[in-house]
Structure 1
Amino acid sequence: MTDPWAISEDVAAEAVGGPGSGFGADLHLDLSAGRGLRAGLVDALREAARSGRLAPGTRLPSSRTFAADLGIARNTVAEAYAELVAEGWLTARQGSGTRVAERARPLRPAGSARVRHPAPRRHSYSLVPGTPDLGAFPRAAWLTAARRALAQAPNEAFGYAVDARGRVELREALAGYLARARGVYADPERIVLCAGFAHALMLLAGVLRARRVKDVVVEGYGLHHHRDALAQAGLRTRPLAVDDAGARTEDLPGPVGAGAGAVLLTPAHQFPTGAALTPARRAAAVDWARSTGGIIVEDDYDGEFRYDGQSVGALQGLDPDRVVYLGTASKSLAPGLRMGWMVVPPGLLDEVVAAKGRTDWTSSAVDQLTLAEFIRSGAYDRHVRGMRLRYRRRRDELVAAVSGRVAVSGIAAGLHAVLDLPAGTEAAALRSAAWQDLAVVPLSFFAHPDARLARREALVVGYGTPPSSAWSATLTALLAALP
Structure 2
Amino acid sequence: MESRVNSDPWTVVAERLGTDLYLDLQPDPTETARGRGARRRQSLASALREAIDDGRLPPGTRVPPYRSLAADTGLARGTVAAVYQELVAEGWLVARQGSGTRVADTAQRTTAPRLTPASSSVRSAPRHDFSLGQPNPSLFPRRDWIAATRRAVTAAPDDAFGPGDPHGHPALRTSLAAYLSRARGVRTTPDQIVVTTSVKSALELLSRTVFDTTIAVESHGLPFHRQAVERGGTAAVPIPIDGGGAVVDALPHSVSAVLLTPSHQYPTGIALSPTRRTAVIEWARTSGRLIVEDDYDGELRYDREPVGALQALGPDAVIYTGSVSKSLSPAVRIAWLVLPPPMVDTVVQAKGIREPDASVVDQLILADLIDTGAYDRHIRRSRQFYRRRRDVLTARLARTGVDVPGIAAGLHAVIPVPADIEPLIAAEAARRDIALVGLSGFRHPDVPQESGGIVVGFGTPSASSFTTDVDALLDLLADYLPNRRLRAE
| Band the TM-score falls in, shorter-chain normalisation | 0.7 to 0.9
Question: What's 1:151 paired with?
Answer: 154
Q: Is the 8 A contact 1:62 1:98 kept in 2?
A: no
CA distance in 2, matches of 1:433, 1:128: 12
**Is structure 2 residue 298 aligned with structure 1 residue 315?**
no
Q: 2:287 aligns with which of 273, 284, 292?
A: 292
- Give 2:317's aligned amino acid: R
Instruction: Label 1:106 to 1:165 Cα distance change in 2 as closer, same or farther (>3 A).
Output: farther
Question: What's 1:91 paired with?
Answer: 93
CA distance in 1, matches of 2:111, 2:151: 43
Instruction: Label 1:113 to 1:168 Cα distance change in 2 as closer, same or farther (>3 A).
Output: closer
Q: Is the 8 A contact 1:430 1:481 kept in 2?
A: no
- Give 2:41's aligned amino acid: R
- Of stretches 294-303 and 417-426 in structure 1, the one that deviates more from structure 2 is 417-426
Question: What's 1:200 paired with?
Answer: 202
SS in 2 for 1:461: strand
Question: What's 1:77 paired with?
Answer: 80
CA distance in 2, matches of 1:102, 1:179: 63
Deviation at 1:44, TM superposition (A): 5.0
Give the superposed CA RMSD: 2.8
Q: Percentage identity across aligned positions?
A: 45
CA distance in 2, matches of 1:359, 1:370: 20
Question: What's 1:337 paired with?
Answer: 332
Question: What's 1:22 paired with?
Answer: 17
The unaligned stretches of length 5 or more in structure 1 are 1-17
Q: 2:175 aligns with which of 170, 173, 176?
A: 173
CA distance in 2, matches of 1:189, 1:47: 57
- Of stretches 26-35 and 307-316 in structure 1, the one that deviates more from structure 2 is 26-35
Q: Is the 8 A contact 2:419 2:449 kept in 1?
A: no
CA distance in 2, matches of 1:286, 1:104: 73
Instruction: Label 1:360 to 1:59 Cα distance change in 2 as closer, same or farther (>3 A).
Output: farther
Deviation at 1:219, TM superposition (A): 1.1
**Is structure 2 residue 246 aligned with structure 1 residue 247?**
yes
Deviation at 1:277, TM superposition (A): 0.7
Deviation at 1:180, TM superposition (A): 0.7
- Give 1:269's aligned amino acid: H
Deviation at 1:117, TM superposition (A): 4.8
CA distance in 2, matches of 1:469, 1:475: 12
CA distance in 1, matches of 2:109, 2:432: 41
**Is structure 2 residue 376 aligned with structure 1 residue 373?**
no
The unaligned stretches of length 5 or more in structure 2 are 1-12, 479-489
What is the number of equivalent residue pairs in this alignment?
452
Residue-by-residue CA offset, 1:2-45 (whole Å, 9 max, x unaligned): xxxxxxxxxxxxxxxx9985242253645223354324434555
**Is structure 2 residue 264 aligned with structure 1 residue 269?**
yes
SS in 1 for 2:306: coil
CA distance in 1, matches of 2:155, 2:227: 41
Instruction: Label 1:376 to 1:301 Cα distance change in 2 as closer, same or farther (>3 A).
Output: same
- Give 1:236's aligned amino acid: A
Q: What TM-score comes out, normalization by structure 2 length? A: 0.84
Q: 2:275 aligns with which of 268, 280, 290?
A: 280
CA distance in 2, matches of 1:232, 1:102: 54
CA distance in 2, matches of 1:30, 1:107: 23
- Of stretches 77-86 and 260-269 in structure 1, the one that deviates more from structure 2 is 77-86
Q: 1:191 aligns with which of 190, 193, 196?
A: 193
SS in 2 for 1:448: coil
Q: What TM-score comes out, normalization by structure 1 length? A: 0.85
SS in 2 for 1:296: strand
1:79-478 superposed matches below 5 A = 79-83=82-86, 90-94=92-96, 95=99, 97-99=101-103, 103=109, 114=117, 116-161=119-164, 163-208=165-210, 213-254=212-253, 259-357=254-352, 360-403=355-398, 404-422=400-418, 424-434=420-430, 436-454=432-450, 456-478=451-473
Q: Is the 8 A contact 1:25 1:59 kept in 2?
A: no
Q: Is the 8 A contact 1:193 1:362 kept in 2?
A: no
SS in 1 for 2:194: strand
